[in-house]
Each structure stands twice: as C-alpha cells, then as structure tokens.
A and B are shown apart, each in its own frame.
Chain A
C-alpha cells in the first residue's frame, strides 16, 4: 500500500523527513526523481487519485514543486494563490494512469529513524532509562545511514530535537535522582548514568544545531512544517475556493498540521470522520492539546465537502472550544468565545439551510467512519448533539467572564457588547428548536425549548424596555425566519414579548423553570412601574411559601424580584408596602449575599474555600446589579417615615406594645443619637438619620430638606416627582409625630394652626386627626364649632408619670440583679435557706436558683413596657 495511506492513522511519516530531504540530491531507487520534493508531489498525486500513486511525475511538476517549496520557505506566498495553482496541477495529474507503488530508500531510513525516536519518547514517559540507552545507541548507528541515504552531512532536525530533549531530560532526571535517590530501580539507574555519559559526549558533535533548537524550538522546527503544509491542501477539492481566508489565517498561526508525536496529519474529506473520532475519544483525557485539536478541526471544516461533514465538525469543534476552559478558575478568552459564537452561528445557518439534517439529542451515532452516510433529500437525517446546550454553555461562559472583569473598565463594556451576538444566537436556536418541535416524528423534547426560552427571558427581564427594543431589532434584522412563540411582528412590544415568553413557560414548563419565569415577569413588571400587577402576581405565585425549597439561584432571583417590587412600591409612593417588601433583604446584614452582588466579608465567617468558590460562581455580572446604595436609601427613608411616628406614639403612651418595624434602622438611629457632635451629613445614611432627628422634633421642613438633599434620588427616573412625593409624606408623618409628641403639653390645639404649621390643607389636617382619633391613637376629640382639637387629659401619661414608670422599672431591675447576686453567693450553702435532706442539697440549690430567675423574668415582663428610646432626647431638645 502507499505510504500515504498509512500516513493518516499509523504514522509512518513525519514532517521532518520531508524537510530534511530538501535540496539534497536524490539517491533513491527511482532515478526519475531528481529531487526529494518530488516525494511531496507524489504523495499529493496519490491522494488526488485516492487509490493509485504515481512515482512518475512530470518534470514540469517537479520544477513547480521545487519552486513552490522554496518560495514557501521565503514565506512570500499566500495560501490562496498556492491552492489555485495546486488545483490546476491536480487536474493534470489526474490524467496519468500508470503508477507504481515504490518507497524511496531515503524514506525507509527516515521511517526507521522515526521508529527509534518514538521508542525513546515512549520510554521517556515511563522513565525506562535502560531502554532509552539502548535505543540511543541504535539511533546513533542509524544516523550515518540516513545521512548517507539523503546524501548530505547535515544532521536531520528530528534527530537534533530528540537529542536535545534527551539531554535536558537526562539532566533533570539526574537532578531529581539526587534529591530523592531511592525512587529509581537499579537497572534504570544504570541506564541513566550510561545515558548521561553518552549524551554528553554525543551532543558535543551537534552543539551548533542543538543551540539553535534550544534558542527557539518552534522556529527551528518550523521550516520543515512549511513544507508539509504544501501538499496537504491539495487534497481538498472543493472547499479551497470557499474559504481561502481561513486557511491562510491558519497558516499565519504557525503551521499546525503536525499531529500527535510530530506526525503529519493529512486531511481528506474521507478521513474527516476518523479524525473526529480520534478527537472525541481523546476528549477528557489528560495531556491532550485542545488548541491543537481546534486547529485541526478548523482545517477539517475547510476540507469538508458536504454539509453533513461540516455539521459534524462544527459539533465537535464547538464542544472542544468549550472544553478549553473546563476548569473552574479560568475563563474563556474573548477570541475563543467569539469563535465559538461564530461556530454556533454557522452551525445554525447550516441547519437552517439543510432542513433534512437535524441535530438532536439521543440520535444514533454514525458508526462507520469510512463511509459517508447517504442522506436522502426527502427524509430527515439525525445527528446526535444539542444546540440548546451549546447556546447555554455560550451564555454561561460569557457570564463567567463578566463575573471576573472589573466592571469599571472598558474591557467589561467591550465584553458586554458581545451579549447582542449571544442573544441573536439564543433566538436563532429557539427558532431551530421550535422547528424540531413542530415535527412530531423527531421526538424533540419540550425541555430543550423551555431551557432556551428561559435563557432568552433571562437576558430580557432586567432591562428597561428601550434597551429591549434595540436588542430585539438588532436580533431580528440578523436572522431570517419567524418564531411561532414570539412572532417577529410582535417583537416591538417588549412587554408583550416578556409576557409571551413567560406564559409559554407557565404552560409548558414546570417546577423551577416555571417559578423562574414567574419571577422574571414580576421583576419586569416591577421595573416598569406596574406595582399592582407585579404584587398580585407575586402573591398569587405563592412562592413565598415554597421558595426555601428551590435552588440557590432561584432564591437569589426571588430576592431580586422582591427588592424590585419594593422599589416599585416606593416609586408609586406606597411607603408601607415598600418597607415591608424590602424589610427581609435590607433588614438583614447580608444584602450583598442575598442579592448575589458581591461577597460579604464577615468578621467571624466560617465559610470554607469551597463555599466561597460556589458563592463566587453565583455572583451576578455587574450590569444586572440593583444599586445597593439606592436600595439602602429607599429602605431607610421608608423606615424613617414609619418608625418616627411610631416612636413618638410609643413614647407618649406606654400601654401600646413596643413594636419594632425595622431593627437595623433603630440600631442606626440609636448609634446616631449617641454621637455627641454631629457634623453635616456626608453620606446617604447621615442624611436619613439627621432627617429622622428633625422629623422627630416636628421640624418637617428641615427633614424634607435633608431627604431631598440625597443625591442618589437622581438615579431614579422622575426624580422630581419622587421628591415631591417624599415631601408630602414627610409633611403628614411630621404632623402625626408632632401630635404624638406634644399632645401632653396641649389642652386644645387649633386645626388651622396645625394647617399653617405643616402647610397642609385644612381638610387634610382634619382628616389625619380624625383618623388618629378614630383608630384610638390619640386621646382627643374634634370641636367642630371652634375648629380645634381638644385633648383629653388623664388618658395619656404625663412626663412625670412616665418618668415615674421608668423609675419603678429601674427599681425592679435592681431588685432582680440583687436577687441574682444573693443566689450566687448562697449557692454553696443552699441548706441555709432550704431545709432538705443532705443528699439532695446541691440540686435543691439549683432548683431554688431557677425559681428565683423565673420570678425575675416575670418582673421584667411586667415593667418592660416603657423605655425612653430615641425620642426622649427629641423632647428634651
């Protein structure tokens, strides 16, 4: 059989031998061959005829080849023109019929040489030095023969490489052996020592070459590869003209046709499937060079003659690209990501052009690598694979990249622009999967479509509608075809689009996907100021009850949605609702963690690195974040509007049970109270705290100024409206606070006076007061005739009374602690108080102690109704 046919799978040929033969006179058995480059031509011819090989090339061809290879060495020629010429050449060679299979002596020598080198390499891997030593000897024996066969004294580069590598290896091994002497067995050790001697002596001869190699191994080896590339593309018939740029691009990358172990890889349309199989089999193994595989496949795409092959290659190619970053730490480079994205796009394009070929999960694999499947145009041919998974993976990779880039850099923005392409891919994949779903005979699973629709939704729900419409427009202009779920025509109405996607998932998905779809829609509604719809949907979903049983990502989405609903309520002026919605997230100290917007370093955190890694993976990319400062600001403002009147109320009537709306707000307020000197407010928190203080003192104008001075409101749409709303709220709550706080000091209070104080309408004041009276918050009544509020005395505690209560409270506390001290003191001598049998004395004492504590607890409960709190200071002031 011809050498070529071994070449592809069994490795009888290396690029080196081709290279070496350059320019040397031929001493082969075949006299017709004046130069070795003819070997390349021969091979090419054989490949073209596919089962015959010709050793009789015409002189003209030889010359051409010669010229060509030299020009290639100069590197002055582009791939395309070369191929053009080759193609014509090929047609000539087709005319030749009579060919004989002959192997040149030179090639034989090279084969031997290569065989030995292979053995040495294998031995290197297992560290078998005795074998290396033996083989090295053989190699040196063979070397003169090779040189002889080639007819030059030049050392084969392959040899130089091996020898140089060997030397480094030997030195390393010796070094290692010195550190850990016991590991090596005696035979190997002996071999190693022998090797060391030999190689040192031997390498002196080739010093110059080795040096050249070590300085730049790639450059050194390169020249030969250039030659190897030459014949290869000749075998491809059709695609050469289709994609010349990509080939020349590959050439520029540095020639990559060298296969494993320095073999030449030869690609023909027939062998594509075999190559793919090889690559697939090596998937997941250690020590596979994925980049190289990718390069191989890039070639294969160009070589592929029909769409089936192309699809197959793309499927593997995309998967391998993703494999590049299978580790947790690394992210995909932009270049690779883009290539993967383009790969998916071309794959989808191919699939769109070929409706009879479908890529579907669970299809049977094509087992026969040598034969191409015959695809009938009227029946569908299935290829195993999943477009949905590719798109998902692409999405994940981008998210991962975005997680790791500093969001304030230009790089982030640059990567973010890729989202448009990604979204186009998602929509396109959706169309494709929809098509599969329509054909019931294919048995495509609903789940895939659901997943894609969900992905699409996840790219939409957090964006304002203007952004969405741009995204949609760009996407639809980039693709043809139409979707049944989301028709092209309706893409302009983004609200409808989100709703359609969600409804689709409600109907067809279940469990987590459905819940997520629901949350996405609620989020979207809340973002677009549809508070009531968002709230009703949120409540009707009943997710609050079940959310704890979902996965963490869904819980995060739930938290985000809840927060967004809260913000929406705030924008609508519904302070109470906003506060309740935000309470759970903002009230805790872990809002960053709950919203997955950054890691919170806790002082005594016990999380393992593993947990931290998971946490990092969950983080949302920056562009999806909800502004935390704004969130805090809204939360504190709402809390202030609710808490300050409440504090005032509690302060004046102790019989109301102490109720805390927001613990974190109270804590901040108390901290603020404790400060002796307070400067002008610097941050949001300061503003709210000082506003709170002013409000508590009834100075609503000052409070409103403080609140409106917060800069972050400008981030909200319609900031002015919100400020007006807040001012109105502050007016009302200020009035309530004032009434609560100062009621004990008044007998009657004119309504019009109040109206002018708080700049409210007369009617409004009356309504507020009426409400307070009716809800029995205020012990007063209105006098319609005099337009005044008459406060009833004796119902509420006066200042003196409440102080007296505080005193009694303190006294009972004192008694309590006194008892406790007594208890401790008398613990050892429990018998002094209780008459008990000696054996049970100790326990008796313990029980006595418990009883005492119980009593104390009761006292605390009785007297614990009133505390001065933050408001005591306000009154003093």
Chain B
C-alpha cells in the first residue's frame, strides 16, 4: 500500500505475460497496429490506475461484442490490489464465468468502508483547520513557529499530517481521485508550511504526494493542474535527485510516460511538452530507457505543423523536424515503427514511395493507439504536406499523376495540397 503513489508499482507478474499472450495470439503479420503495440512496454512506467484506460481502449478496439477474456483477466490482475472492490469483484466474476461477484468481495468492501471511516475521522480535524481562515491567517513563513502554533493551539501532531497522506493514498486506491487530489494537496501545503526541507522522510512523501496528485489530475482529466504538477515533478527531479543519476533517469522516464496523457489530450500542453521532451536531459532519457516514445514525439512534431502555421514559428518547426530526424536516425538500430520509419524514409533516405507506404501503416497505428487516436487525421494531413514540400524542393518538373499516389489522395485534392505547400523552387506541372 505504501508505494501506491510511487509510480513504479510492483505489478502482478502475470499481467504483462497475459498481455503478451493476448497480443501474440491476435498477431497477424499484416496487422501493423498490433505488431507495434506499445502497451507491454509502457505498463512498467505507468501507475496501475493509469494503465486502466489504456487497457479499456484496447478492449474497445477489439471487434467482438464480448471483450476478449485475456483483457478482462489483465484488468483483473491489474486492479486486484486496489480498493475498488465492487469493480474488481465484477471482473473476477467475469473471468471465472460467475453470474455474481464472489462473496469475499463483500467482506473486503466492508473492510474498506471501515477503514475509510477511520481515516475520515482522523483527518477531519486537520481539514477543518485548513478550512478555517483564522488559522490560516496565523500561519507565517517561519516553519518552526507554525508547527508550534498548531501544536499548542490545535493539538496538531506530525502523525496527523501523515494521516492526511495515507488517507489520500487510500482514496486514490478506491478510485475517488477528486478527494484524493484534495487530500494530497492539503498534505503538501501543510508539509511546506510546517517542516523544514531537511527532514528527508517528509521529503520523500512530499514528492510521492506530488506524483499522486499528478495521477489524480490526469485521471480526473483536469489538464491545467496536471500540467502544474508535471512542472513540479520536473523541478523535483532536477533538484532533489541531483545526486542520484539512476533515480533521476527512472523518474524522468516515468514523467515522460505520465505526461503523454496531457500531451495528446490538452492542446496548450503540446507545445510545452514537446519542448520538455526535446530538452537534453529528457531526450537522453528517451534514447536510453524508452525509445518507443519517439513515436509520440514524431507524431507530435509532425502534427504541430498546423498549429504553428502563421504564428511565425516556422523556423522553430524546422528545427524540431531537424532534431527529430537526427534522433530517429540515431535510434534506428534500437527502435523503429511505421511512424519513425516514415520520418526516416522522408528525410534520411528520400525514398518517397517508401514514405508513402509507411504513411498508410502509420495511419493505422495512430488509429489504434490510445494517445494518438485523436491526432490521426491531423497527422495524416501534416505528413502529406511534408511529403509534397520536400518533393517539390527537389524536383523541377513533376508529373502530377505520379505524385498523387504518393499523397494517397485523389487528383484534385493533390493539386490543392501541392499548392498549399507552395515553395520557393520554380516548379511546373506536366499533365
């Protein structure tokens, strides 16, 4: 329980195996989406609650009426250790083919409710205090004085503050992300008010609370505050873990994976996160630990094109593309999927036919990817622009009938695209 907010949760070992089995069975050689599914790779870097939507998405993608048994099993294994007893019970019933949930879950449920009561009681006082404006007014910047004040006037103890954290964790585990978020927020405020940063245990809890809150915000799709948390976590990693490069690397990898949620679901976040990913430390992390993130990075950079247009940031876009090409090329030996292959075909090998082939595949992948599904159309559009752009840059005379299949478009629209991507070199059409 204690590590529920530390992102690296000890997963039940069977979960990934099952998933591997699941994707392995449905794996036809001609199914690029399944073949390039990143789920198994990403699970270790996500919290179990965050994995859930991904599996759900996988389930929705499946054609059959009934969700595949493997996925249900996977969900069950995933959530078994959480406090969402009702749901887990249902899942268990489903996997075992029972009509109703087994009796043990009712008992568990009781336990959970009891503990919840207990926590509620313990933490209510502090929460009341925090709600009390008088108390807040009396707090100063002097941490020791604050602690003394609260101790003397309201009988607040260190244990009580910690209870707040535990309760937050508990609520999170129950699936009540809103209240968990609030609890953790209060906890963090209190810690910041009361304790000097030298107390390392609280420091650990503090950062765990930040991670926990980030998860809560993501799960409640509260993107703005999620982005704030991302920022906080990032600072935390840079400062607190300064002396421990390995932990830094690990935490950065987590942050990268977690921030994929706001990355593709929250428009304003895209810009910031692209920058974050391209910053030297993070790009190094991607290259060393999780090269598959390149797919998302590539997709983001390519789709950014539309957004940036007219904002006088064409230069920056070019730079991003350049960086992307460099990294994709460097990592080619370690990771490749249709999206990165597309980038490579277009910018490294200048093989337009190959690029076009890859674009079709990439489109399929995007549509079956939890994060990228929304960006699939924008990606396809931007990718066509890119193809025509570099094609026109190189060619002086173009046979429009031959270009069209490259862009996977009917003739008229192809012309339009070419014109939109109108470029400096004097090119002429030969029909």
Please list the residues of chain A having a beta carbon within 8 angstroms of any beta carbon in chain B: 532, 536, 540, 763, 766-767, 770-771, 773-774, 781-786, 790
Contacts and interface: CB of A to CB of B under 8 A. Distances in A.
Contacts of A532: 333-334
A784 B398 contact: yes
B395 A784 contact: yes
- Top 5 A-B residue pairs of the complex, sorted by shortest distance between their CB atoms: A781-B396, A770-B350, A783-B397, A782-B395, A773-B394
Contacts of A785: 397-399, 430
Interface residues of B, number: 18
Interface in B368-403: 390, 393-399, 402
A782 B396 CA distance: 5
Interface of B is mostly: mixed
A770 B394 contact: yes
Contacts of B349: 767, 771
A470 B398 CA distance: 64
8 contacts: A532-B333, A532-B334, A763-B351, A770-B394, A773-B394, A781-B396, A783-B395, A785-B398
B13 interface: no
Given A783-B395, A785-B430, A774 B390 contact: yes
Given A767-B349, A770-B350, A774-B350, A781 B390 contact: no
B399 to A, nearest CB: 5
A540 B351 contact: no
Contacts, number: 41
A771 B397 contact: no
Given A540-B288, A767-B351, A785-B430, A774 B393 contact: yes
B395 to A, nearest CB: 5
Nearest to B390: A774
B431 to A, nearest CB: 10
Interface string B396-431: 111100100000000000000000000001010010
Contacts of A783: 395-397
Counting chain B CB atoms within 10 Å of each CB, which of A540, A763, A784 scores highest?
Answer: A784
B350 A784 contact: no
A784 B395 CA distance: 7
Nearest to A766: B350
Contact of A782 (B333, B334, B351, B394): B394
A781 B350 contact: no
Nearest to A789: B396
A702 B398 CA distance: 37
A675 to B, nearest CB: 40
A767 B393 CA distance: 14
A771 B393 CA distance: 11
Contacts of A790: 396
Contacts of A536: 288
Contact of A774 (B394, B396, B402): B394
Contact of A786 (B333, B390, B397): B397
Nearest to B347: A774
B394 A781 contact: yes
A784 B351 CA distance: 14
A781 B425 contact: yes
A773 B430 CA distance: 21
A781 B395 contact: yes
A216 B110 CA distance: 107
Contacts of B430: 785
Contacts of B333: 532
B118 to A, nearest CB: 43
B246 to A, nearest CB: 11
A515 to B, nearest CB: 16
Contacts of B393: 773-774
Nearest to B334: A532
Contacts of A763: 351
Interface string B332-361: 011000000000000001110000000000
A784 B398 CA distance: 5
B350 A771 contact: yes
A782 B288 CA distance: 39
Nearest to A531: B333
A784 B288 contact: no
Given A770-B350, A774-B390, A784 B397 contact: yes
Nearest to A771: B350
A538 B397 CA distance: 47
B371 to A, nearest CB: 27
A785 B397 CA distance: 7
A786 B402 CA distance: 13
A540 B285 CA distance: 11
A783 B430 CA distance: 10
Counting chain B CB atoms within 10 Å of each CB, which of A774, A781, A783 scores highest?
Answer: A781
B330 to A, nearest CB: 10
Contacts of B395: 781-784
Contacts of B394: 770, 773-774, 781-782
Contacts of B399: 784-785
A766 B397 CA distance: 14
B369 to A, nearest CB: 27
Contact of A767 (B288, B350, B396, B425): B350
Nearest to A767: B350
A773 B349 CA distance: 12
Contacts of B398: 784-785
Interface in B281-306: 288
Contacts of A786: 397
Nearest to A540: B288
Nearest to A776: B393
Contacts of B288: 536, 540
Contacts of A770: 350, 394
A166 B349 CA distance: 94
Contacts of A771: 349-350
A767 B349 CA distance: 6
A536 B289 CA distance: 12
Nearest to A768: B350
A540 B288 CA distance: 9
Contacts of B427: 781
B150 to A, nearest CB: 45
A188 to B, nearest CB: 74
A767 B348 CA distance: 9
A785 B425 CA distance: 17
